[in-house]
Structure 1
Amino acid sequence: MSLDLSSVIAATTQWLIRAYPAADGAMNAALAEAQARQAVTLATLLRYATPTDCPLAPLAGPDGSFRLDWLVDAEPYEISGPDGVWRTWVDEVVASWAAALLTCSTLASQAVAALGDCEHGDGSPGEWRRLTAPDALDCRAAPLLRHPDLMALVVDLHRPQLVERLRRLHSDDQTPTSAV
């Protein structure tokens, strides 16, 4: 993965764990962050699926967390403030896709399978276990991140595009013109 996307992954992960905090305790916080990071990484790999997409992402610029903050009724932030800098790197589509992956392990399994068809598909399915087969500890650590009703507003923003992307990646015709 391109280092160009590391800022998007870090910021979007940070937004998810702040908007949907972990259960109390350091271990829960670490497990929740690991789950959010896996979901955001997978969503980023699917969204920016080609080598051409990766360098273009920072040039076009992510949309920031303003709309997401408004959706979850978070406090507004100042772009010039300390929180404003990282929030500008939040990718709304990636956050929505990650939320969908966190709340539906079936969709997460389909995404992991589709990742093998992408340019980035070099990992094994076991690397994504926290998404595809979360255990009781994972679910207890991140009850808000895994709650379909609480995450619905964020999921619904771009879930249809995720489903379409997965459908295209699973299709037999993988030519560049079929992805348009």
Structure 2
Amino acid sequence: MLTLIAYEERRRLSLDLSSVIAATTQWLIRAYPAADGAMNAALAEAQARQAVTVAAWLRYTDPTDASLVALIGPGGSFRLDWLVDAEPYEIRGPDGVWRTCVDEVVASWAAALLTCSTLASEGVAALAECEHGPGSPGEFRRLTAPDTHDRRAAPFLRHPDLMACVAELHRPQLLERLGRLHSDDQTPTSAAS
């Protein structure tokens, strides 16, 4: 029964963040396109979505956080587009709608996770301390243990130098969040007198 309740709570939180996850994933795969071919596009999108999901769950760790971002909005992609020198888009056009749901911090954290396997593993492990709860063992495999096909499909998404301008934007906050989540699972000890 508790497992079912935890699953339902996690599902509700995920739904609250679904527009942020979808838009930020879309931004990443447009800014850092996959190698040619439909299979490569699918593999690159899967990797981006896993990284963005982990980043969003780490950033918005409880229902209140998720509700607030749904209410006030995540900020949009304007600064990210400027950073990667993307083509300007019409704010009132079709691109303008989904781009308003892009979360700059989530994109930055996802970029950091995609370009550092250690950070990706730590991020997935830290989910156990969030209200989203841990994923199933293989749920984030393409992020934490990409195979040759995954790497070949997403050469730009996995390239530390190319992703640096986005990854470095909010990396310190990601490291701070991971440190805080990992320290929260330690049992406090009494100070020595």
Letter in 2 for 1:38: Q
- C-alpha RMSD over aligned residues: 1.4
TM-score, scaled relative to structure 1: 0.94
- The answer for the alignment partner of 1:75 in structure 2 is 87
- Using a 3 Å threshold, how does the CA distance of structure 1 residues 174 and 142 change in structure 2: closer, same or farther? same
1:55 aligns with 2:41: no
Letter in 2 for 1:121: G
- The answer for the alignment partner of 1:178 in structure 2 is none
1:133 aligns with 2:145: yes
Q: CA deviation at 1:173?
A: 6.2
Aligned residue for 1:126, secondary structure, equals coil
Per-residue Cα deviation, 1:81-131 (whole angstroms, up to 9, x for no partner)? 111000000000000000001001110000011101111114123211111
Specify which of 4, 15, 37 is matched with residue 3 of structure 1.
Answer: 15
- Using a 3 Å threshold, how does the CA distance of structure 1 residues 173 and 129 change in structure 2: closer, same or farther? closer
Counterparts of 1:141-156 in structure 2 under 5 Å?
Answer: 141-156=153-168
Query: Which blocks of at least 5 consecutive residues in structure 2 are unaligned?
Result: 1-12, 188-193
**Percent sequence identity over matched residues?**
83
Letter in 1 for 2:18: S
Q: CA deviation at 1:6?
A: 0.6
1:25 aligns with 2:27: no
8 Å Cα contact 1:11-1:86 kept in structure 2: yes
Poorly superposed stretches of 4+, deviation over 3 Å: 172-175
Q: CA deviation at 1:79?
A: 1.0
- The answer for the alignment partner of 1:162 in structure 2 is 174
Letter in 1 for 2:182: H
State how far apart, in whole Å, the 2-side matches of 1:18 and 1:119 are: 30
- The answer for the alignment partner of 1:104 in structure 2 is 116
State how far apart, in whole Å, the 1-side matches of 2:95 and 2:102 are: 12
Query: Which blocks of at least 5 consecutive residues in structure 1 are unaligned?
Result: 176-180
State how far apart, in whole Å, the 2-side matches of 1:134 and 1:71 are: 27
State the number of aligned residues.
175
1:92 aligns with 2:98: no
Q: CA deviation at 1:174?
A: 7.4
TM-score, scaled relative to structure 2: 0.87
8 Å Cα contact 1:50-1:120 kept in structure 2: yes
**Structure showing greater Rg:** 2
